[in-house]
Amino acid sequence: MKVLIVGSLSGDLGQAAQIAMRRGAKLDQADNADSALARLRADAHFDLVLCDLNHDVGAVVAALAAERIAIPVVACGTGDDPDAAVRAIQAGAREFLPLPPDPDLIAAILEAASGETHVLIAHDPLMEATIRRAEQVARADASIMISGESGTGKEILARHIHRKSRRSGGPFVALNCAAIPENLLESELFGHEKGAFSGAAARRLGKFEAANRGTLLLDEISEMDIRLQAKLLRALQEREIDRLGGTAPVKVDVRILATTNRDLHAEVRKGTFREDLYFRLNVVSLAIPPLRERPGDIAALSDYFCRKFADVNGLPYRPLSRAAMDRLTGHHWRGNVRELENVIHRAVLLADGSEIGAAGVELTQADGTQRALSTGTAEGGIASLVGRRMEDVERDLIIETLGHTLGNRTHAATILGISIRALRNKLRDYTARGVAVPPPAANAA
């Protein structure tokens, strides 16, 4: 991923930059908000902005919103001025990163911004067959539709296809159609000219131009509004795009990959997805099986995550015991690889001794609650929940966890074993219903 740092790289912020680079991030730096905006307009590859509290974080967030640039901003600073951190969060910063930097927190923020790990691991015959089919068509320029449940690794497979393609030397650009508001998505895709709308202070290149001579991944394509689908179809047919406010088309050379966790045939029948766009994107289809149908991958993925999170958290590597592995292989895995990753992360953090035992594997039940291995001491706690609605129990658990993490959404999502997007969606629903939600500003405490 690519990160823009706004502020001086001397001192604590420079240390944060070094940690981010060791975590695999590519960095650029701007001395002030104006130069940061100039870089963001010219380069659509950025995934995250880290902005020093010495600068006006709220002004940066407002300028990005005015120019329809959908990039998360994380405020950075010491705890000397908690009011400044509160103001930054209230102005729209996604998180607050306290300085001196904590490597684990930086890793969590980068992972949340990127949304995916990029390691492809497959030992199960069913998944191996899917990868062979992907590699067979990788060197062609045909569009590919990758389908599968949430958390199965669709973006990981897309990146693998790009690495195996003739375009591997070009850029790989991913755009999550579900994560960007509808009114921003068109500008993110096609870019805009100065004056195209109120707030468009300068030309800004979109993801199509950023991916020129490379690969553009349209993640969760089924979430795109049907009106924008028509413009996307024209871009694919003509191999050219129209910037918002532009007077002439711009030629682009882009290979399109798309993902969906929905049945697009059903979406076409409902009229929410264009049939002509479906056929244009679905030249080749790849279906990633859910984790419960590829049990041969569970052991290899689990060991990989054990090593990854031991390294990330500065802990010794502990292998999973046979009983722990039996517990993992017997689980249904509604959340697929993403759920497995969260389960192993918790197990690594809570483990002691020479290995991770079965008691350290806390699994999510079908009703959404977490369940550790029964030790005979939890009956009182369970009994206290009888008679309460599942929806209310989940809400209270989420609110209590947010209080425990001082409002840090990224940490809370990790503890709860859900994605940061799922957590934010739930919090949005709670707020709409008048539930008091701990503000992100509590991170500054």
What pLDDT band is residue 442 in, cutting at 50, 70 and 90? very low
Write out the two tokens for 209.
């131009």
What pLDDT band is residue 112 in, cutting at 50, 70 and 90? low
Is residue 207 within 8 A of residue 193, CB to CB? The reply is no
Write out the two tokens for 219.
């993640």
Is residue 306 within 8 A of residue 319, CB to CB? The reply is yes
Is residue 264 within 8 A of residue 278, CB to CB? The reply is yes
Residue 309 counted as domain residue: yes
The yes-or-no verdict on residue 406 having pLDDT over 60 is yes
Q: What is the pTM of this model?
A: 0.69
- The rounded distance, in Å, linking the Cα atoms of 147 and 127 is 13
Query: Residue 197's domain is classified under what CATH number?
Result: 3.40.50.300
Q: Is residue 325 domain-shared with residue 407, that is, in the same domain? A: yes
- Structure confidence by residue, pLDDT tens digits, 3-52: 999 988 888 888 888 888 887 788 899 998 889 989 898 888 888 899 98
Is residue 285 within 8 A of residue 239, CB to CB? The reply is no
Q: Is residue 133 domain-shared with residue 281, that is, in the same domain? A: yes
Q: Is residue 95 domain-shared with residue 157, that is, in the same domain? A: no
CA 118 to chain centre: 12
The yes-or-no verdict on residue 113 having pLDDT over 70 is no
Q: Of 289, 317, 352, which one is at a domain's C-terminal end?
A: 289
User: What's the domain range around 29?
Assistant: 2-114
The yes-or-no verdict on residue 444 having pLDDT over 50 is no
